[in-house]
């Protein structure tokens, strides 16, 4: 086992070295909803990426000023703006990654599912345009309710005959970012080292952090598990309440979405060691979509990571059993929309 682990480490190091020796590639990224609360800081963070050659900012309004502002940053990517449905197709041509933070956000007292009636149409129209103009792109869906908007996107792509389940992602990175932050604070760990996989879906009890799989290995009391799990599950609501009607998480979301974009670009660029959690088409459980860790490669998802679901604690197994019917209903609601 020791030999195998040393060999694996050497192989990973050599993959990383090869990746870092290659010239930087140039990718095009489009953001749909770029003038919004998430869209603006996300655009800034992506403008800072050395892997991006062009940043296409699309929104139904107010995007010209955002693009003019960002274009003055002396980083490599060219910034182009696109306003309104007539310019949507051109915003997508030749794009490698499309991020969708378009749509309404929660106010106190609302669930993510309360956004379905507005955001389902926005995601459907956005994905129709993606299918027509850049069917090979990685699609990152941020718009809530993610548990339903991802199945909507899958149905649209199927109807257009271009569905590639390896390239459709519900962005759940913020759940991991929060879990890492809260665990590091609670256990007084170095933030950079902490990694907690978060599985299930993206709302309430469907967000299931696997604290027993925290790396580096940490032990938690039952009270700590309960407290941390509930805090991670309610973190979105914590922000919605603190903003008191002015929207939901935007800055931490932009940070998390930028991490997921950068991971996708690294994978597209040939880095062979990229893993992220995401809500994707899955056969890890009986549900057709499920969030888990995935390995990313040039063609999208290279593998789901089943080992995270093995050897769960009794608490995690029970929480998984309880979340499944709710997640199933959210997925079906999305599938039936189109």
Residue 171 interacting with ligand NAD (CB under 6 A): yes
DSSP string, 45-72: HHHT-TTEEEEEEEESSSHHHHHHHHTT
171 binds, among ligand NAD, ligand LMR, none (CB under 5 to 8 A by kind): ligand NAD
Q: Which residue has the tokens 């309710």?
A: 145
**Is 248 a binder of ligand LMR (CB under 6 A)?**
yes
Q: By CB under 6 A, is residue 1 in contact with ligand NAD?
A: no
Task: Kindly state the number of chain residues that form the binding site for ligand NAD, as judged by CB under 6 A.
Answer: 33
Q: Give the x-and-dash track for 115-144 against ligand LMR (CB under 6 A).
A: -----------------------------x
- Catalytic-role residue among 56, 72, 140, 202: 202
Hunting for tokens 């665990």 — which residue is that?
183
Q: Which residue is nearest to ligand LMR (CB)?
A: 236
Least separation in angstroms between CB 185 and ligand LMR: 18
- Interaction of residue 174 with ligand LMR, rule CB under 6 A: yes
167-192 CB burial, b ≥16 within 10 A, e <16: bbbbbbbbbbbbbbbbbbeeeeeeee
Q: Return phi, psi of residue 101, to 5°.
A: -105, 35
User: Is residue 148 part of the contact set for ligand NAD (CB under 6 A)?
Assistant: no
Does the annotation count 202 as an active-site position? yes
* Count of beta carbons in the 10 Å neighbourhood of residue 133: 18
Nearer to ligand NAD, 67 or 212 (CB): 67
Does 197 sit near ligand NAD (CB under 6 A)? no
Identified binder of ligand LMR from the candidate list 28, 47, 106, 266, rule CB under 6 A: 106
Total number of residues that touch ligand LMR (CB under 6 A): 9
Residue 129 contacts ligand NAD per CB under 6 A: no
**CA–CA distance, 338 with 138 (Å, rounded to integer):** 21
**Nearer Cβ to ligand LMR, position 168 or 174?**
174
What is residue 137's three-state secondary structure? Answer: coil
Q: Over the range 38-75, which residues count as b (16 or more CB within 10 Å of their CB) and which as e?
A: bbbbbbbbbbebebbbbbbbbbbeebeebbeebeeeee
Q: Which residues bind ligand LMR (CB under 6 A)?
A: 106, 112, 144, 174, 236, 239-240, 248-249
User: What amino acid positions are annotated as catalytic residues?
Assistant: 202
């Amino acid at each position: 086992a020791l030999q195998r682990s040393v060999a694996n480490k050497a192989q990973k190091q050599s993959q990383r070295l090869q990746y870092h020796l290659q010239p930087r590639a140039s990718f095009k990224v489009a953001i749909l909803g770029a003038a919004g609360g998430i869209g603006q800081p996300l655009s800034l963070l992506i403008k800072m990426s050395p892997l991006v050659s062009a940043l296409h900012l699309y929104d139904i309004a107010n995007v010209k000023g955002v693009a003019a502002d960002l274009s003055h940053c002396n980083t490599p990517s060219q910034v182009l703006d696109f306003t309104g449905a007539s310019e949507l197709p051109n915003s997508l041509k030749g794009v490698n990654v499309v991020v969708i933070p378009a749509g309404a956000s929660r106010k106190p007292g609302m669930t993510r599912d309360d956004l379905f009636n507005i955001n389902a149409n926005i995601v459907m129209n956005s994905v129709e345009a993606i299918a027509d103009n850049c069917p090979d792109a990685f699609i990152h869906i941020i718009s809530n309710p993610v548990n339903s908007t991802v199945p909507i996107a899958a149905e649209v792509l199927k109807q257009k005959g271009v569905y590639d389940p390896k390239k459709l992602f519900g962005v759940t990175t913020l759940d991991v970012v929060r879990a890492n932050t809260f665990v590091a604070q609670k256990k007084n760990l170095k933030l950079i080292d902490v990694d907690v996989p978060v599985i299930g879906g993206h709302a309430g009890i469907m967000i299931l952090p696997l604290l027993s799989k925290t790396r580096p290995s940490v032990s938690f009391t039952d009270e700590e598990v309960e407290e941390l799990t509930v805090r991670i599950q309610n973190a979105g609501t914590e922000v919605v309440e603190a903003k008191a009607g002015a929207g939901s998480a935007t800055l931490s979301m932009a940070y998390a979405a930028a991490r997921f974009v950068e991971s996708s670009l690294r994978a597209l660029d040939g880095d062979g060691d990229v893993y992220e959690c995401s809500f994707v088409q899955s056969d890890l459980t009986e549900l057709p979509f499920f969030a888990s860790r995935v390995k990313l490669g040039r063609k999208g998802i290279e593998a789901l990571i089943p080992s995270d679901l093995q050897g769960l604690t009794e608490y995690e197994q029970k929480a998984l059993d309880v979340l499944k019917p709710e997640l199933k209903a959210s997925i079906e609601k999305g599938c039936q929309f189109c």
